[in-house]
């Protein structure tokens, strides 16, 4: 039977019907808010290319987390920016490094009120800006993996609730899982940046994290944007190596990858709505071309609809506030 028996507009008549029939909902407890902590005297320094986002000192980030919690956010992803960098990114695995000190401060003050996830990578800590150790002009995979595993352990010893390796080195999930288990931290989960593409959308993040490569690019380890089947291989390998949560990054340009991953794998699936997505929306709103709330909600809903269980987003605070107002 067709029209006039079937009228799909019946369930669009008003907000009550639309809410009843709504297939996709954004839940605050599925959102993660990225934050940047830096060794500096200032308590807060705004990121020019990401309006509304700042770098914070270890003391400043504690004040900001008060606001984050008041907004309703319960999970953060912490990135560190050290005062000094070197060829091997030693600040990444220093027990007194910027992330390690920040995590200790956060957990001491907030305890289990906030879930602290730490990004595990080298690019913010190396003088060359790449995600590992350079040998003969190339990022050495196996040497880098050893240091990444040390970094993850140092974060957990500082109190991190979860670690998130983002470097895209082969075998790093296995190495992280092994070192954590050997130390007795087998209950600490790993959120793997499993399908992380060499995207054009990371520019504002590199301003925030001060991690621009000093030569070349990251195409020899991050994924080719043209490849979809390879993403499934990357995800499958991370699962076999011990990942508890898998991730696709970026989100909006890779909704097809999210959808395929959701159909193929049963693990919790995260998506990172990256800095370029954030900056584009902010700029379009600033120009008066888009409505802020509607655009944020529609873009985030599309990520959820594609299959993401968890969304890492710079809009997390606003989304949680809107949820409290029942206007999602």
Given the residues 30, 196, 304, 317, select the one marked as catalytic: 196
**4-45 per-position pLDDT tens digit:** 899 999 999 999 999 889 999 999 999 999 999 999 999 999
Query: In 3-state terms, what secondary structure has residue 64?
Result: helix
Give me 113's structure tokens.
């009120």
Active site residue 324: no
* Average of per-residue pLDDT across 167-190: 97
Give the pLDDT confidence score for residue 229 in this predicted structure.
98
**157-173 per-position pLDDT tens digit:** 999 999 999 999 999 99
Confidence of residue 2 (pLDDT cuts 50, 70, 90): confident
- In angstroms, the Cα distances linking 327 to 31, 67, 206, 278 are 16, 20, 33, 20
Mean pLDDT value across the chain: 95
Please give the full DSSP string across 261-280, using - where no structure is assigned. HHHH--S-EEEEE-HHHHHH
Give the pLDDT confidence score for residue 125 in this predicted structure.
93
271 has pLDDT over 90: yes
Cα–Cα distance, 103 to 162 (Å, whole number): 11
261 has pLDDT over 70: yes
List, in order, residues 6 or more apart from 177 with CB less than 8 Å away: 190, 241, 242
- What are the residue boundaries of the structural domains of the chain, listed by start? 26-324
142 has pLDDT over 90: yes
| Radius of gyration, CA atoms only, the chain | 20
**297-315 per-position pLDDT tens digit:** 999 999 999 999 999 999 9
* Average of per-residue pLDDT across 107-123: 97
Name the percent of the chain lying above pLDDT 90.
89
Active site residue 249: yes
Give the pLDDT confidence score for residue 123 in this predicted structure.
93
Given the residues 30, 38, 85, 249, select the one marked as catalytic: 249
* Average of per-residue pLDDT across 246-260: 98
Please give the full DSSP string across 208-253, using - where no structure is assigned. HHT---SSS-STTTSBPTT-SHHHHHHHHHHHHHT-SEEEEESSGG
- Least-confidence region, from 209-218, 240-249, 283-292: 209-218
Instruction: Decide the pairing of beta strands 138-140 and 133-135.
Output: antiparallel
Please give the full DSSP string across 136-162, using - where no structure is assigned. TTEEEHHHHHHHHHHHHHHHHHHT-SE
Confidence of residue 328 (pLDDT cuts 50, 70, 90): low
What does CATH list as the number for 26-324? 3.20.20.70
290 has pLDDT over 90: yes
**116-134 per-position pLDDT tens digit:** 999 999 999 999 989 999 9
Query: In 3-state terms, what secondary structure has residue 70?
Result: helix
86 has pLDDT over 80: yes
């Amino acid at each position: 039977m067709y029209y006039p028996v079937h009228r799909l507009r019946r369930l669009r008549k008003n907000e009550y019907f639309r809410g009843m029939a709504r297939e996709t909902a954004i839940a605050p407890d599925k959102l993660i808010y990225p934050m940047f902590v830096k060794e500096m005297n200032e308590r807060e320094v705004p990121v020019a290319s990401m309006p509304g986002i700042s770098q914070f000192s270890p003391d400043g980030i504690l004040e900001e987390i008060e606001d984050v919690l008041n907004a309703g956010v319960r999970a953060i992803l912490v990135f560190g920016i050290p005062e000094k960098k070197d060829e091997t990114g030693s600040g990444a695995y220093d027990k007194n490094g910027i992330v390690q000190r920040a995590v200790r401060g956060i957990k001491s003050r907030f305890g289990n009120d906030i879930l602290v996830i730490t990004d595990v990578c080298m690019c913010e800590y190396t003088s060359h800006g790449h995600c590992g150790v350079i040998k003969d002009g190339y990022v050495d995979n196996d040497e880098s993996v050893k240091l990444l595993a040390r970094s993850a352990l140092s974060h957990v010893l500082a109190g991190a609730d979860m670690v998130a390796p983002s470097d895209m080195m082969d075998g790093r999930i296995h190495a992280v899982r092994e070192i954590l288990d050997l130390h007795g931290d087998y209950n600490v989960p790993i959120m793997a940046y499993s399908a992380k593409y060499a995207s054009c959308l990371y520019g504002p993040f590199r301003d925030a994290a001060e991690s621009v490569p000093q030569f070349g690019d990251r195409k020899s380890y991050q994924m080719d944007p043209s490849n979809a089947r390879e993403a499934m291989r990357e995800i499958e390998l991370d699962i076999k190596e011990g990942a508890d949560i898998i991730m696709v990054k970026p989100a909006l340009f890779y909704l097809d990858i999210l959808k395929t991953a959701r159909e193929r794998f049963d693990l919790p699936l995260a998506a990172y709505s990256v800095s370029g997505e954030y900056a584009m929306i902010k700029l379009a709103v600033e120009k008066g071309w888009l409505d802020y709330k509607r655009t944020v909600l529609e873009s985030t809903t599309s990520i959820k609809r594609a299959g993401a269980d968890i969304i890492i987003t710079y809009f997390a605070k606003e989304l949680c506030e809107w949820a409290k107002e029942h206007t999602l």
